Every structure is written in structure tokens, then in C-alpha cells.
Structure 1
């Protein structure tokens, strides 16, 4: 080949080399892109060990929740939402006076979650070592006087409940609503002897609904859920007796994943919307 021919061939060779390098680079880039977009596969050890990639526990089965009676309506609603979110699950509730529920838990009753109407009753459970982690306050609640519809006895203040002949129901002093009522009465230097001490707030409210008493000291949320069956009367002393509601997963929860998921729902924006809609105060 003469010199002029060689000069013409060299550019063609160089162009071919550049094209080959570009093609190789593209192929390398394509391989890297493919690796990045493909999720890593679960790997196991050569000896047959467990997978190294962890996943969130699946929520299934029955979740047992012990909750203060005043949470009945809202927690029932949240329980249905929970079952919709996690198909195949079932939430079983035990509603009652917080002190009674706490005693059941410390006696070994199987449950996953405890939601109390006061830190004092929650402390009964945690002091016994039955709580898994620290409880957290998820709502607060304030007292209100429930009267017969139309308020025929013209009750306007807490002091009016001490009128002669007026029949009043209170929660038992060991129950959070009863303890709060006593705090309000003490702050007002009032002494009130009810015709009935009830074991939970719903029982006290029922006494008014059935017209067995003229009034009862309950929570605002209970008056709200009763609708037209009772009439609520606010009193300023209630501001000195607001109850914090704590919730905790129980130490030996049969359904650990379910307990965590239910507590997460209660504390979520959706859960708080349901609770505040019933009259509960923000934590």
C-alpha cells in the first residue's frame, strides 16, 4: 500500500475504534442501570441460613384490646377501620372501668393493648411489669354534668348538684371519672353524697338516661354520644380535673404485630380525627 492510501485508511481505523469504545460504554451503562432498577433478591447463607433481607411483620389474627368504657364508641369505629385495613383480622374489645381492667391484666388476663382513662390506673399495670415499653398519652377528656333532657332541675353549676332532694350518680372513686369528679368537688370545697356510685362512666350515664337519677358527672364525650337522651352542663371546675388517656402494648401480647398496628392507628391522623370528633381533647 502506498503512503497516500495508508493516510486514507488510518482515519477509518480510528473511527472504528472510537465507535467500538462507545458501544462498550453504552453496554456497561445499560448493565448498571438494569442492576439499579431491580430490587435486591433475598439471600440466604450457603449453609441454609435464614434470609438476610427483613420485612415488616404481617398483621393478622385477633387483636384483644382492653379499653376504658368512655372509649367504647370511638374504639369500636377504629376497630372496624383496622379490620378493613388488615383483611382477615378481628379486633375484640373489653370495655369497662379502668381500675377493673387493670386488675384483670395484672391477674393474667390475656390481652394485647391497654388504653386507660388515667395515668394512675395505667401505673397499676406498668408497676406490675405488664407493660411493654412506656405508655403514651393519646387523648384527654373533660368532665361535664349530664342532666335529663331539657334540664328540668335547672342545674347550672357543680354546686347545684348538692341541692336537697336532687338525685345524683357519680363514678366510683377508684374509677378515673370518679376520681376526677372528686378533684373538682374538692377544688370547689363542695361535699356531695350521691345516691349511686357506678363502676364505670357508661353506667353513671345510663342512670340519667333511664331517669333513675336527675344528674350524673360524666365525660363530655359521653354526653356527646348520648345524643338527645341527656343534656350537658359545663362547669368551670372541670378544667382542674382533665384526665390524660395513656395507651400501651402489653408485655405478653399474644399478637405483637397486631398490637403495634392498632396503637399506630389510634395515634395516627385518622385515629385522632375520630377521637376529636367525639369530643376528646388533643394530647
Structure 2
């Protein structure tokens, strides 16, 4: 009997070791269980490049997770969410559009402002119309593109024109800032107002001109999980990633300001 005791004790220790290992694996599985499947993010058009990068980085950090984006004007996105579109996360280019969804209960968590942005004049490469500043937007002989007023970049444009005492004469009003930027890149207009991040993203296709009144209309970007998020765990994880140091580094490189 005495010779059997060490063998029995060893068996118990081996079983205990396996049990401990299984518990750790189970804990890890539980910890990551909420970060699986698809995460659908509705984001302002001006976030296209930076959020696309963040989405790829997030997927790499969470194998098996797929991030799907819907980029558009914030006002259009807010309407879609209020009408029941399945979204996990909403990132708006203005507080007003976030309020539009929190007032209806479509977003119940507290939105967090994660970046800021300001406007910049965008002209085609070489600036063929010799646009010098904001006052040129009142010239009838120039082709001008702006965002529609209900879109955050359009609301910001209205503020800066008011601050400068300029009555703009736009030839076209677009529903998101990327549509405006496209008009400039293709040389269809002489000048436009877009975000400084869009000018930077366009590279050598456009040139940017800063103007002092831009500080009169700083856009704050809030982000929040949707109340009926199909993947609430994924929504929280993605928002946490955007707010992390890695997320901030990507957004800062894109030209966004700190909140």
C-alpha cells in the first residue's frame, strides 16, 4: 500500500495540472467570446481612410472578426440608423447628428468625442484659378463646390463664411465631403471647402489653402455603440480600439486633432 501512495499522488497532481490548463483556456475563450463575427460601423465620409486602416488593424488583432464600413454623410447615416439599419457603431463628424440618434434611443450609451477636424480650401493641383482665400468663394466666375448645409462640413462652411462676412456662390452642393473632394480632384470646380484631413488624403491631386476663419468652426467627432447593435461585444471592442493609443496614432497621422 505504501508503494502505491506516491503513484496515486502523482496521478492527482497530473489531473490537477490538466484541470488548471483547461481553466485558463476556458477563461481566454470567455474573454474573447464577445469579439467574434462581423462588426458594422457607420462612419462619417471624412473618416474613410483612417477608419479603413483601423479596421484592418482591428481585424489583425482579432482573427476571425470582419469589420464592415458604411461611409456617408453623418446626417444620412443618422437617418439610416433611426430607420432601423443594423449598425454596431456610429462615428459622426458632428455632435448634432449624434444627438439625432441619441434622442430617439437608437444610441443609448454615452458618446465619446475622439477627434476634431477643421476646414481647408481645396483647389486642383497647380491652382489654375489662382484662388487666394475665402473671399474668392463669392466670385460668380469661379466654379465652387460645397457640402450641403445639413451635412457637418456644410454646416461648418456656413459658420466660416459668416465669420468672414462672405456670401458664397456655390455651383454645386454635395451630400458628403468626399463627393466635394472628387469635384476638385477631377478639375470640375475651381475651389471647394473640405476638411484638412481630406486634403491630406488626396495627396498631389489637390492643393490645400488654410484660412484663419477655420478656427471658428471646429468639428468634434463623437463615437458610440448603437442600442440595437447586432454585435455589442464587437462594438465595444472596436470603440476601445479607436480610443486606444494605436487608434490615436492612426488618426493623428491622418491629420485629425485631439478632442
TM-score, length of structure 2 as denominator length: 0.88
Q: How does 1:124-273 map to 2 (within 5 A)?
A: 124-273=100-249
2:31 counterpart of 1:56: yes
SS at match of 1:131: coil
Q: How does 1:65-144 map to 2 (within 5 A)?
A: 65-144=41-120
Counterpart contact for 2:118–2:196, Cα < 8 Å: yes
| Aligned equivalents of 2:153, 2:120: Cα separation in 1 | 10
Q: Highest relative contact order (Cα 8 Å, sep 6+), 1 or 2?
A: 2
Q: List structure 1 segments (4+ residues) > 2 angstroms apart after TM superposition.
A: 38-42, 54-57
Counterpart contact for 1:57–1:257, Cα < 8 Å: no
| Aligned equivalents of 2:211, 2:101: Cα separation in 1 | 32
TM-score, length of structure 1 as denominator length: 0.81
SS at match of 2:110: strand
Instruction: Report the alpha carbon displacement of residue 205 of structure 1 after superposing the two structures with TM.
Output: 0.4
Counterpart contact for 2:89–2:224, Cα < 8 Å: yes
| Aligned equivalents of 1:214, 1:174: Cα separation in 2 | 23
Taking a change above 3 Å as real, the CA distance of residues 124 and 57 of structure 1, as seen in their structure-2 partners, is: same
Counterpart contact for 2:87–2:229, Cα < 8 Å: yes
| Aligned equivalents of 2:148, 2:140: Cα separation in 1 | 21
Q: Deviations over 1:20-73 (max 9, x none)?
A: xxxxxxxxxxxxxxx9xx96996xxxxxxxx9xx94352100000000000000
| Unaligned 5+ runs, structure 2 | 1-15
SS at match of 1:134: coil
Q: Deviations over 1:232-267 (max 9, x none)?
A: 000000001010000000001000110001001100
